[in-house]
Amino acid sequence: MRIAIPDDYQDCVRHLKCFSALADHDVTVFNDTVKDIKTLAARLANAQVLVLTRERTRITAELLDQLPDLQMISQTGKLAGHVDLAACTQRGIAVAEGIGTGSATAEMTWALIMASRRNLVSEANRLRGGLWQGSIGQQLQGQCLGIWSYGRIGQQVAAYGKAFGMRVWVWGRAGSRAKAQADGFELAPSRETFFSDSDVISLHVRLNAETYGIVGQADLARMKSSALLVNTSRAELIASDALAQALRLGQPGFAAVDVYEDEPVLGAAHPLLRLPNALCTPHLGYVETDNYERYFGLAFDHINHFAAGRPTCLVNPEVMQQLRR
C-alpha cells in the first residue's frame, strides 16, 4: 500500500525498529508540518494510508475530498478531535487508533516540576555564560501537589509526589476523585481551595468539548505568587491567553508548559516564550524512544492487518462494508 507519514519532525520514524514492519509497502515520510489544505492535499494525494503522529495534522472533510485514494488512517495514540471521524466514515475511510501515552509523559511532567522548582535551566545558562549562582530554589518535600484528574498519568504523577514527600491532593470529576480516595490520596475540599492552597498544580485532564478552557483567569488568580502550574496535557484546557496574563500579574508565580494551541511553535512565536517565569518545552511529553516504538509499532500493525483484510482497533468498523477499492 502507498503510505504517507507526515509530521516526523526529528526524522526518527525511519530509524525505529518497528519501521521494518512496513518493508512491503511504499512509504513516504515528511519531516515538517503543512497546514495549508491545498499544499497538504498535493502532498498526500496518492496515499492509500495515512499514519498520524498524535494531533499534528488535522484531517477535515475538505482535505478528505481531495484524497481520492485514501482507504485508511492509522492513528498513533488516541483520537482527540483532530480527525473528522464522521467525514471519514461517510467516505468509507477506516480509522484505527492506538493506545494512550504512559509513563513518558508522567516522567516529563516530573522533570518540569523539578527543573522549575530548582531553576535548573536558568542556572545552567548562567554557568555557561560565566556566572555563578543567581537564584534560590524550592524543595518539593512538604509542599502541596494538586493533581487535576486522576487518570493514568495523574496517578503516576501523584505517586511521584508522594515519593518526594509532598502532600498530594486531587481535584476532578466524581469518578476521578473516588479513585484517588480509594488509593489513599486526599481530596481537595473545593475547586477554589485546590487553586489557592496548592504549591504545585499539574493538569492531566483529557481535552473534549466540556473541558475546553476549563481553567480560567479566576482560577489562576487564586494561586499563590510562589506557586507553579504545570501543563503537559493540552494547552486548550486553559482559557485563551489566561496563563500569559496571569504570569504577568504574578499569580501563579511560575508555569511549566509542554503544549501549545497551535503546534509546532516556530520562530519563538508564542507569548509564553517571552516571559521569564515560564519554562517552555516543545511537546516532548510522549516523544521518547520506547514510547515511539510502541506507538508506531501498533500503528504499523494496524496497517498490515488492514491490508490482509483483518482490520484491528477500528473506531468506525462499519466502513468495512463500504470500503472503497
Express each pLDDT in 41-98 by its tens digit.
999 999 999 999 988 999 999 999 999 999 999 999 888 889 999 999 999 999 999 9
pLDDT of residue 100: 72
Which domain range does residue 82 map to? 2-101+288-321
Residues 115 and 244 reside in one and the same domain: yes
Number of Cβ within a 10 Å radius of residue 181: 13
For the cut 60, the answer to whether the pLDDT of residue 186 exceeds it is yes
Of 91, 283, 294, 302, catalytic: 283
The whole-number pLDDT of residue 99 equals 83
For position 325, what pLDDT does the model report?
Answer: 47
Under the banding of pLDDT at 50, 70 and 90, the label for residue 321 is confident
Assign 323 a pLDDT band (cuts: 50, 70, 90).
Answer: low
| 260, 310: one domain | no
**Which one of 91, 204, 234, 302 is the catalytic residue?**
234
- Catalytic residue (one of 107, 236, 263, 293): 263
- Number of structural domains (the chain) is 2
Whether 263 sits among the annotated catalytic residues: the reply is yes
Three-class SS of residue 256? strand
Q: Do 222 and 234 fall within a single domain?
A: yes
Which CATH number does the domain housing residue 185 bear? Answer: 3.40.50.720
**pLDDT, tens digit, 9 for 90 and up, residues 90-126:** 999 999 999 876 699 999 999 999 999 999 999 999 9
Task: Tell me if residue 107 is catalytic.
Answer: no
Residue 74 and residue 116 in one domain: no
pLDDT of residue 324: 47
| Residue 318: active-site member | no
